[in-house]
Amino acid sequence: MRVAMGKWLGKVRRPAFFGVIAAAVLVGAFFVVRSVVVYTPFGRSGQKMWIDIRPGASSQEIGQELAQHGVIGSPLAFRAYLFLTRQGANLQAGRYQFATGMTLAQVVNELKQGAVRFNTVVVTIPEGFTVTQIAQVLAEKHVCKEKAFMNVVRTGHFSYWFLPSAAHIKAVRDRLEGYLFPDTYDFTIGESPHKVLGTMLGEMNSILTPGRIAAMKRDGLTVRQLLTVASMIEREAKLPRERPLIASVIYNRLHHKPPMKLRIDATVEYAVGFSSNLTAQDLAVNSPYNTYLVDGLPPGPIANPGLASIDAALHPAHTGYYYYVAKGNGTGASYFAATYQQQLANEAKRQQNLLKRSRNGS
């Protein structure tokens, strides 16, 4: 009986003993891996680079971005370290200067502190700004010089799929016009124009989602045509609700049999310089952007449109309108018309509104 009991107890104790050994090995392996992966520098030190971490980026996306630039060796190890140390919620978006040869712990520590110490400036590019206006804003913020920026706009090489080919830009004034997405960015003082443009082009790339590309192709539009229409909407619409209506007027005129000239004031303003009052001489200017004289769309965008105008160009209202004119009553609203007679009546109402405002001193 004693022997049988001893054998039985041995069978119980032996697995427990090996379980303790296995646990100890795992714990030891954890500390070894942690010391090697977390606290051992990855790659040779010395090579510095700027990396943008966009707002809302997941730990997986951040890890992949860091690995692609050679800052870390394993996105999986990056995520595992964040999970084990519970630091995933503390990472901040922004522009960071990393270097090869940093440890994983150092990289995560940088992401926790944020990029404020790297001489960054917040730059807001308003919707509807031209590349020359963007250059002025960047110069005022000391990001890069205006002339250097415009030189890269006109001669720099970028490989984004949506940029027009050389065959399509002969009449275009500034070839990146319309392709720089207006948004709020974190740039560094003295940053290279090529890097700035690459960041803005990258944002436009993210805006041109598969869904928007499918809608564009459904309507038989190229990216250049889409952004050209969107840029006109951006410059013409003063109220958000009127963007789809103005889009409908543009498409109705383009698809009219025979086609009607667009006669968009903003295209003339782009040709002669933006002004509050266009003259008869302005409307007669000899320019491929003057849609009072040329048929169809201008050769390219006249500004850099925002997301709402891009979506309005993709999803115009279904109307019978061929005309519109600002009401002139200070609201920014427009009168829309299906016939020229209605347009003439609306223009008369506009003159009355302007006269009334002038009498009231507003």
Do 180 and 131 meet the contact criterion of CB atoms below 8 Å apart?
Answer: yes
Instruction: Supply 36's token pair.
Output: 């090697």
- CA geometry: angle at 206 spanning 241 and 164, to 5°? 90
**Amino acid letter for position 181:** F
**Residues 37, 74 contacting (CB under 8 angstroms):** yes
pTM, full prediction: 0.70
pLDDT in tens, the chain (362 residues): 343 434 433 444 455 555 556 555 454 444 444 444 454 555 555 577 778 888 788 989 999 999 998 889 888 999 998 988 888 888 888 778 788 888 888 899 888 877 555 578 889 999 999 999 999 999 999 999 999 999 999 999 999 999 976 555 678 999 999 999 999 998 988 999 999 999 999 999 999 999 999 999 999 999 999 999 999 999 999 999 999 999 999 999 999 999 899 999 999 999 998 766 888 999 999 999 999 999 999 999 999 999 999 999 999 999 999 999 999 999 999 999 999 999 999 999 999 999 999 888 76
| Domains of the chain, CATH where assigned | 48-116 (3.30.1490.480), 120-207 (3.30.1490), 220-360 (no CATH)
Cβ–Cβ contacts within 10 Å for residue 271, how many? Answer: 21
* Cα–Cα distance measured from residue 343 to residue 326, given in angstroms and rounded to the nearest whole number: 11
Cα(316)–Cα(59) distance, rounded to whole angstroms? 38
Distances (CA, A) of 186 to 101, 194, 330: 25, 15, 35
Assign 3-class secondary structure to 146-203: HHHHHHHHHHCCCCCCCCCCHHHCCCCCCCCCCCCCCCEEEEECCCCHHHHHHHHHHH
